[in-house]
Structure 1
């Protein structure tokens, strides 16, 4: 109970204090990032983890039931805890920054691990609590659309409640095809391709009460960096994530993904962010969208003690 109260308090502070949101996907790393990046890339080449088992275990747990945990699992926290990749602060420009890196402009929201399996979709916080359970147009995400044992997906998202939107940052599994060990450049491309193939994911309806939209990504060329931060984007900006193209998805803190706030881009990268970009805001749902959902969008929402 004490742990739940602590998490609930942390959640309430995150709403009012922008700085506390940083812990959701950012970690202040030590210096010598370049050296540790090389070490991470070397470890990737030497050995691969069995992420197929990891994905299958996450998908096989009944999302609408409490998880029966072992003593070891209880000692390290909740079952869905620590399954998201965390970045470090960008403290030094990588030597290969303009040739081997990609960037994503991140919206303000709550980091979420989204799993669709066995006809239901569930979203979990970084600390393992369930945010929402609901039907979705994701493969395996709704009983109405039908599913097989291989129809399960695992996504890394940012959830914005007011616009009922999950912004997809990364993809770890789609229809049972696991891509943890794939390079970031492929994963981001694949996420964009797969999400766009299912048109109903971007539309609100009772069978898909939350939208799934891919956050655009681009290469870290000097031309892209000079242009991308000049115009308004369709959401409030929290910061910018940088992905090394060859980095795998590892559920831990990694120097192969770094983070910077927009206000620090001038000092660190020599890039000016305009007022139009910095003042970007979410657009409220239209009356038509709300009417489509109506009272038919029945969503299983955990109690307040479960949310963080």
Structure 2
């Protein structure tokens, strides 16, 4: 009987030690962005790729309806200088000039906290300019741009199919994922979501990139500013994640002509990734100065990029913890401000148009903080 008690006691001690170790690990992992999702990136990537393979012909629910332009486009609502036809008497969070169909459609990255085991064979890297991440919808002879939350940003003519009245034939259209730099009036294409009423979200990264480049060759008006195209359109380069290509990429400074816009960071795409809405471990994000720490010191990084390291930078985990704390504080202030505006509105001392403008400014600040 004593032996049984001894065995039981040892088992309990072992369990307590295991739980303590797990708690310690959990506290460390909590430094990272969205821990719980990021906990084991490698394992989650494998599971996502298996799901893609088994459901290859299924469309992502989130994208159903984005090609039904007639049901989501209301020219009176989405004109920036027009008022919506109905607005509640009191402030209601989220009741703005927002298209729910285009809200949270963009595929977003997670912090890349470890080098994937298949990094050199199954990943691409894309240099991303500093700018606003936007969803571009070209149809009905115009091109409209929306933030990742579905806010209407602006519209103009572009040389994209269906993007101006000169090339619109009633059938052609496209939806693209891009960065926009207002200073240079340049639209940097990152990814393809739909082309001529056909969803491309079930296509792998390699296919989407090939299709986008091949199709845009038939639209030369996108390269210069003219009456058909009011912004310059460029496709961001995507190259393999070998040490050779990464060193070549990061040895170049500035990355974009005249450093306008400057390089913001690097996105890493798994070659087999389908386009999904929201954050995914199949897309990673790093600032250039994080490259040696995460991907290895054998990758050459131009000293000019290393000089961009923030003052007081300790390591990636510490940076992410501070970054997330800053974002949380900003969100907290924003919620408190909305509550104040709500109370003012009840007393008739503020209006919804002012609150909408304030919320859009906060949205833009968050967009430029990190793409």
TM-score class, shorter:
0.7 to 0.9
**Partner in structure 1 of residue 291 of structure 2:** 265
**Partner in structure 1 of residue 318 of structure 2:** none
Q: Deviations over 1:240-281 (max 9, x none)?
A: 11100000000121101111110100111122321456789x
C-alpha contact (below 8 Å) 2:222/2:232 kept by paired residues:
yes
Superposed displacement of residue 206, structure 1: 2.9
Please say if 1:175 is aligned against 2:175: no
SS in 2 for 1:66: helix
Q: Which runs of 5+ in 2 are unaligned?
A: 1-32, 79-83, 87-93, 309-355, 365-371
**Partner in structure 2 of residue 250 of structure 1:** 276
Please say if 1:122 is aligned against 2:148: no
Superposed displacement of residue 103, structure 1: 0.7
Alignment coverage as a number of residue pairs: 256
Higher relative contact order (CA 8 A, sep 6+): 1
The equivalent position to 1:204 in structure 2, one of 188, 209, 225, is 225
Query: Residue 190 and residue 164 in structure 1: after superposition, are their counterparts in 2 closer, same or farther (change >3 A)?
Result: same
Query: Residue 137 and residue 304 in structure 1: after superposition, are their counterparts in 2 closer, same or farther (change >3 A)?
Result: farther
**Partner in structure 2 of residue 61 of structure 1:** 72
SS in 1 for 2:67: helix
Paired residues for 1:158-237 under 5 Å = 158-232=179-253, 233-234=255-256, 235-237=261-263
CA distance in 2, matches of 1:112, 1:238: 15
The equivalent position to 1:153 in structure 2, one of 174, 179, 183, is 174
CA distance in 2, matches of 1:165, 1:27: 32
Query: Residue 54 and residue 41 in structure 1: after superposition, are their counterparts in 2 closer, same or farther (change >3 A)?
Result: farther
Which structure 1 residue ranges, 4+ long, deviate > 6 Å from structure 2? none
Superposed displacement of residue 167, structure 1: 0.4
CA distance in 2, matches of 1:122, 1:85: 18
Superposed displacement of residue 59, structure 1: 6.8
* TM-score (norm. length: structure 1): 0.75
SS in 2 for 1:116: strand
SS in 1 for 2:150: coil
Q: Deviations over 1:145-166 (max 9, x none)?
A: 3322x31100000010011111
C-alpha contact (below 8 Å) 1:120/1:140 kept by paired residues:
yes
Query: Residue 27 and residue 189 in structure 1: after superposition, are their counterparts in 2 closer, same or farther (change >3 A)?
Result: farther
Q: Which runs of 5+ in 1 are unaligned?
A: 1-25, 281-302
Query: Residue 106 and residue 248 in structure 1: after superposition, are their counterparts in 2 closer, same or farther (change >3 A)?
Result: same
